Amino acid sequence: MGKLAIIAGGGELPHVGMSEAIAAGEDVIFLGLKESDFSPRGYESRTIPVHITQVGKILKTIEKQNVDRVLMLGKVRKDLLFQGLKFDLKALSILAKTINRNDYPIFLAIADEFKRMGVTVISQKKYLKSLLLKEGRYTPKKFSSSDIKDIEFGMMYAEKMADLDIGQLVVVCDESVIAVEAVEGTDVTIRRGGEYTKKKGSAVVCKSAKSKQDERFDLPTVGVHTLQIMKESGCKTLCIREGETLVVDPEEVVDYATKSKLNFVVYGPSKTKGINGSQKKIKPL
């Protein structure tokens, strides 16, 4: 078996993946994207810096390092495609094969290029299972009937937006969509939703994967930072989908939400039926 390469953007996910992969006995390296906020943080000897625009060099590095599996983790700004970056010929040829410049067609085209090299892109869940939570309400306060309606409404529209490859997050209030995520990202969307609902103070932030999510790419992710933006913006409840949304540092998320009097709920097969039962304890899937 060859090496595992984590193509790493910003945030905590690459480091969680690295730690779990090493614990599983993997020979693993980082290909750290310079255009992201990636930092090796103790894994310098396992890190090779690469440019997202130099796909040809990335492929040569993968071949030289005897990599046979790739894991794509971490944040990369979606607006980079529109920043006038100079892509190499390989990157341009991959972009030319896509039906549009949305995320998923680009990911698929890259995966096809890896496949031609005999390299497999593996599920993001493989080494991040500890970040997937079971359905239930993880904070103390029970929901009103209007809260429950907003959660159902919001999760329906979040999934629809994800299926359209527009974004993964919506902000809703009183069964009305207030803000929809697109290229600007989660933080800006939450702030925009809060701008219109802050006086009411009951907006629900819903984040969802696609109904048929490809586990290799772009699983939704939340963390304490998500809650901090919600608190600043006057949004009240964060709702994610069971088994499909990664929660960075789950214990810290629940602790911060509880102390900040925010609500955190994981929406699952039972939908809203079990939400007002007993408070859920952290227990990964």
Q: For tokens 């207030």, what's the residue?
A: 178
User: Is the pTM for the entire model greater than 0.85?
Assistant: yes
Tell which wins on pLDDT, 261 or 199: 261
Return d(Cα 170, Cα 163) in angstroms, integer.
13
pLDDT (0 to 100) of residue 238: 98
Does this chain's domain 3-121 share its CATH topology with 131-267?
A: no
Q: Which two tokens stand for residue 64?
A: 């030289």
Domain residue ranges of the chain, discontinuous segments joined by +: 3-121, 131-267
Q: Identify the band that residue 71 occupies on the pLDDT scale cut at 50, 70 and 90.
A: very high
Let me know if domain 3-121 sits in CATH 3.40.50.20: yes
The dihedral built from the CA positions of residue 176, 178, 184 and 190, taken in this order, carries a sign that is negative
To which H or E segment does residue 194 belong? helix 186-197
* The pair of three-digit structure tokens given for residue 190, joined into one six-digit string: 């939450």
CATH number of 131-267: 3.40.140.80
The Cβ of residue 268 has, within 10 Å, a number of other Cβ atoms equal to 20
Mind listing the pLDDT tens digit for each residue in 217-271? Answer: 999 999 999 999 999 999 999 999 999 999 999 999 999 999 999 999 999 999 9
**Inter-residue contact 206 to 239 (CB < 8 Å):** yes
Angle at 223 between CA 205 and CA 3, to 5 degrees: 130
Tokens 């006038």 -> residue: 84
Average pLDDT, the chain: 93
Per-residue pLDDT tens for 145-192? Answer: 999 999 999 999 999 999 999 999 999 999 999 999 998 999 999 999
Phi, psi of 70 (to 5 degrees): -125, 140
Is pLDDT of 103 > 90?
no
What are the start-end ranges of the E strands in the chain?
A: 3-8, 28-33, 47-50, 67-73, 120-121, 136-137, 169-173, 176-180, 203-207, 221-222, 235-241, 246-247, 263-267
DSSP-based three-state secondary structure for 32: strand
pLDDT band at 82 (very low <50, low <70, confident <90, very high): low
